[in-house]
Amino acid sequence: MALRVVFMGTPDFSVPTLRAIAEAGHEIVAVYTQPPRAAGRRGLELTPSPVQREAERLGIAVFTPLSLKGTDEQVALRALNADVAVVVAYGLLLPRAILDAPRLGCLNGHASLLPRWRGAAPIQRAIMAGDTETGVMVMRMEEGLDTGPVGLAHRIAIGADMTAGELHDALMPACAGLMVEALAKMEAGTLAFSPQPEDGALYAKKIGKAETRIDWSRPAQEVHDHIRGLSPFPGSWCEFGTGGRPERLKLLRSTLTAGAGEPGTVLDDALAVACGEGAVRLIEVQRAGARPVSAGEFLRGARLVPGGKLS
């Protein structure tokens, strides 16, 4: 017997899970997502979330409340008589009244190996910390931030040069498949949960603008992890001089390489850059207002030669 599901999610990451639940034959009685946001070059056009667009394509009713703390919203959700709510990167806190509304509670698909990297930016933080493994977990939600007991987990290796964008794209289908498996077990009454361990909990706070600038005095491994952990968004950056004026350069892809020198010094004609310890080679970069290009293409137009400096 199919479950009656309320789905809650907002960004691209959530879409494969929504689609997979529908394809598995469950009845999605409503979709909750963040309200349309201003977008476009002038920020004047309201754009619905990726989840809203997919829900409308599937013919599912969409709700976009600014908050779920009000009595009217809580009564409306309870009236849906859902068996379970599935939450994947929704972006709103769920108060106790919402958590208790579905008959079987709320399941969350979270992109980390809990309790490591609870919070808003687990994919970026895992790479920035140099983790070699992460994954997705399905947990039963409670009022604490990503503290609920875990039902299922799927592990994924993080490659040495893997970017946050690449890891995001690998975790999306993994989350979808794991959630469908969890719903099948819930339907059969065999989905069991285990409490998260107390040790090893880390909070993946949102990425702040102040931490996106590269610090070349750090060891090469840390610089490399910083670059790939913030690629493609929001992107790490540094500055280089053109005609006496500093220009911002977004760093999208790098790898470790041999070399040493004063931090920030360009070491060769293939854009190896010295760090506080060792060196990184920049593979893909982006000048302000331009498209991403290879290091070679950038160097042809930037007049940046060995001995030049990035700051």
Query: How many domains are there within the chain?
Result: 2
3-state secondary structure (DSSP) of residue 268: coil
* Owning domain of residue 144: 4-203
Q: Are residues 158 and 292 in the same domain?
A: no
- What are the residues facing 34 on neighbouring strands? none
Q: Are residues 287 and 148 in the same domain?
A: no
66 is in an annotated binding site: no
Q: How far apart are CA 85 and CA 82, in angstroms?
A: 7
* Domain assignment present for 112: yes
- Strand ranges, E, within the chain: 4-9, 27-32, 37-39, 45-47, 62-63, 84-88, 106-110, 118-119, 133-140, 150-157, 203-204, 236-242, 245-257, 272-274, 279-287, 293-294
114 is in an annotated binding site: yes
- Phi, psi (rounded to 5 degrees) for 152: -140, 155
Q: Are residues 16 and 101 in the same domain?
A: yes
Q: How far apart are CA 36 and CA 264, in angstroms?
A: 42
* Domain assignment present for 254: yes
Q: Are residues 171 and 134 in the same domain?
A: yes
CA dihedral over 267, 271, 274, 280, signed as positive or negative: negative
Both tokens of 104, joined, read 């079987």
* Domain assignment present for 310: no
Q: Are residues 188 and 272 in the same domain?
A: no
58 is in an annotated binding site: no
* Domain assignment present for 309: no
Q: Are residues 166 and 180 in the same domain?
A: yes
Calculate what percentage of the chain has a pLDDT beyond 70.
Answer: 97
Model confidence pLDDT, tens digit, residues 217-252: 999 999 999 999 999 999 999 998 866 688 899 999
| CATH label of the domain that carries residue 224 | 3.10.25.10
Q: Minimum mean pLDDT among 38-52, 84-98, 123-137, 156-170: which range?
A: 38-52
- Phi, psi (rounded to 5 degrees) for 43: 70, 25
* Domain assignment present for 308: no
Q: Are residues 96 and 115 in the same domain?
A: yes
Q: Are residues 13 and 98 in the same domain?
A: yes
